[in-house]
Structure 1
Amino acid sequence: MASLNRRWVQIIAAIGSNGYWPGFRDGAIYQGNLKKVCVPGLNCYSCPGALGSCPIGSLQAVIGSINYTVSFYIIGFLTLTGSIMGRLVCGWLCPFGLIQELFYKIPTPKMRLKGLAANLKYLKYVILAVFVLILPALWVNSAGMGAPAFCKYICPAGTLEGGIPWVLFNASLRSAAGFLFVWKMVLLVLTVTFSILIFRPFCRVICPLGAVYALFAPVSLYRYQIDEHRCTRCGTCVKTCKMDVVAFEKPNDPECIRCGDCIKSCPHGALRSEFFILNNSAPTTDD
């Protein structure tokens, strides 16, 4: 990762996930074979440009199906991706993560989640359990099918990438838009507002996909290492980290999105990134 520019990787990943340009032109969802494949980041299935499926949306769809089945493909995909990369996906490959970062660049006074507010990071695990796993399985209609609760009631990425384009494309949808669409728009506006003030608030507090990858962060093959002989615990990495991770104490904190800012900022070269199986000993730098 040393020679790569993170912003360009994020842009390429966003374009690659939403590269079906005729969808924006014609107002039609791509339904080819690629749609059967999950993309690693949070990306709405209903986006006119979406080429793949969101793993969270796919997981809800399977859990909420009338057959009450479990998709070994989706579980395996999340396990494999998380085991290899952890939250590197969040920092480098997630389109909605990029969107939040671009809003954060708007010049305004910035805020940090400290004290009790820092505990909001645990809410994403509750949302994962309740809205992604439990409600789609138990809150079913007369036909025995559950709704994708997170996508339907919470996900601002779906509103931005799917809901708004379809309302703009389709006059009948504009006239039929009701309370649910208004509710989702309110959540989107709040997400955008907080993204201007706080670095990646959705990733920190709400995102169930981030919660999944966070579970793998301490044990993923791609990880950060700290050289105790070089580290002076000066705190430079802590001041640099926008996710408020104390890197010199816990370099593989579940909240770390592997942006590499701490590595670049360390005046002593005490932090490095490596694939654990390669057992690299030479320091590397991420962009």
Structure 2
Amino acid sequence: MRGKYKFKRTVIQIISTLLHNANLKGFAEGRIYTGNSKMACVPGLNCYSCPGAVGSCPIGAMQAVLGGRDYRFTYYILGTLFFFGIIFGRWICGFLCPFGFFQDLLYKIKVPKVNVPKKLDRLMRFIKYGMLLLPVFLLPIFLINQFGMASPYFCQWICPVGTLEGGIPLLANNENLRQMVGFLFHWKLALLLFIIFLSILIYRPFCKYFCPLGAFYSLLNRFSFYQMHVDSQRCTGCKACERACKMNVEVTKNINSLECIRCGACKEACEEGAIQSGFYFTKKTFNDADSDHEKHHNIA
């Protein structure tokens, strides 16, 4: 049934967003939750300073450890990211990330959409890898103060999630904080408004062009247990899948592209049922599944 897969995905996104921010009373109190669960990283991009957050943002946690005076490499956080990435790949971006869901909602606003030229689109997608390398990894290591510590540069100067989930809710509930607002908050607010504006016109611009977490997961897309496959024997080459893909993936050429967020739009658009997806933890491959289907078809 058309729309069934999309509905299931939306339900999962809502549940994931609520689980990431399960401390709902924090929004009313205007306080950051500091319980034991904050020692663990959540899979999606969700600000530590959000009053509802019950876990740490992996990007924020990575910078905090790299920028500490002990100069310890963050094996735990990096291991957590690899764990999520190896199992899910960018399925996390498509289903579990709260800020990805926020962008999905903004794109539903009925206004004329913008198609970014292919050459510009491909060029801009490299920005997110620069974000991962420079402000997340290198600056916290090398750009330190007189006390041997570094700021979380991406979170402090760039990330719009912190403004949306942390800055605005906390300021709304704390008069003292509102009196301390200065250039940094106004700069971050401008960036957030810019991303919101782009998200109404372009599908998931932050995911496509700027998100360092998406960049990290994309590097594991081809190796993750969750994979997608195009059955060449069923595919008619109609390209309906590629027209349905808002991430501009060339589905018939490379369905497990670095840019694929596993949203399933291509799968739902295929009337021939040529696209398969799922978690594969054993040696059984998609080709094995195709062979099983052929055997069943021939017997029938």
TM-score bin (small chain): over 0.9
Q: How many residues are paired up?
A: 284
Query: 1:262 Cα shift?
Result: 0.4
| Aligned partner of 1:59 among 56, 62, 74 | 62
| Aligned partner of 2:176 among 172, 175, 181 | 172
| Aligned partner of 2:150 among 139, 146, 169 | 146
Within-5 A mapping of 1:119-198: 119-198=123-202
Residue 230 of structure 2 aligns with which residue?
Answer: 226
| Aligned partner of 1:87 among 87, 90, 103 | 90
Query: 1:22 Cα shift?
Result: 2.0
Larger radius of gyration: 2
Residue 297 of structure 2 aligns with which residue?
Answer: none
Residue identity matched to 1:148: P
Residue identity matched to 1:276: Y
Task: Tell me the percent identity.
Answer: 47
Residue 216 of structure 2 aligns with which residue?
Answer: 212
| Aligned partner of 1:50 among 53, 62, 68 | 53
3-state SS of 1:225 partner: strand
For structure 1, which runs of at least 5 residues remain unmatched after alignment? none
Q: Is the 8 A contact 2:103 2:199 kept in 1?
A: yes
Q: Is the 8 A contact 1:66 1:145 kept in 2?
A: yes
Query: 1:112 Cα shift?
Result: 2.5
Query: 1:4 Cα shift?
Result: 7.6
Give me the whole-angstrom Cα distance separating, in 1, the residues matched to 2:82 and 2:222: 14
Residue identity matched to 1:106: I
Give me the whole-angstrom Cα distance separating, in 2, the residues matched to 1:277 and 1:20: 33
Query: 1:129 Cα shift?
Result: 0.3
3-state SS of 1:66 partner: coil
Residue identity matched to 1:232: T
3-state SS of 1:135 partner: helix
> How well do the aligned residues superpose, as a CA RMSD in angstroms?
1.8
Q: Is the 8 A contact 1:221 1:275 kept in 2?
A: yes
Q: Is the 8 A contact 1:225 1:274 kept in 2?
A: no
| Aligned partner of 2:103 among 100, 103, 115 | 100
| Aligned partner of 1:24 among 16, 27, 49 | 27
Q: Which stretch shifts more, 255-264 or 226-235?
A: 226-235
Give me the whole-angstrom Cα distance separating, in 2, the residues matched to 1:151 and 1:105: 27
Query: 1:275 Cα shift?
Result: 2.1
TM-score by length of structure 2 reads 0.91
Point out 4+ residue stretches in structure 1 off by more than 4 angstroms: 1-4
TM-score by length of structure 1 reads 0.95
Residue 37 of structure 2 aligns with which residue?
Answer: 34
Query: 1:147 Cα shift?
Result: 0.4
Query: 1:95 Cα shift?
Result: 0.3
3-state SS of 1:257 partner: coil
| Aligned partner of 1:116 among 114, 119, 142 | 119
| Aligned partner of 2:9 among 6, 11, 24 | 6
Q: Is the 8 A contact 2:28 2:173 kept in 1?
A: no
Query: 1:115 Cα shift?
Result: 2.3
Does residue 237 (structure 1) correspond to residue 241 (structure 2)? The answer is yes
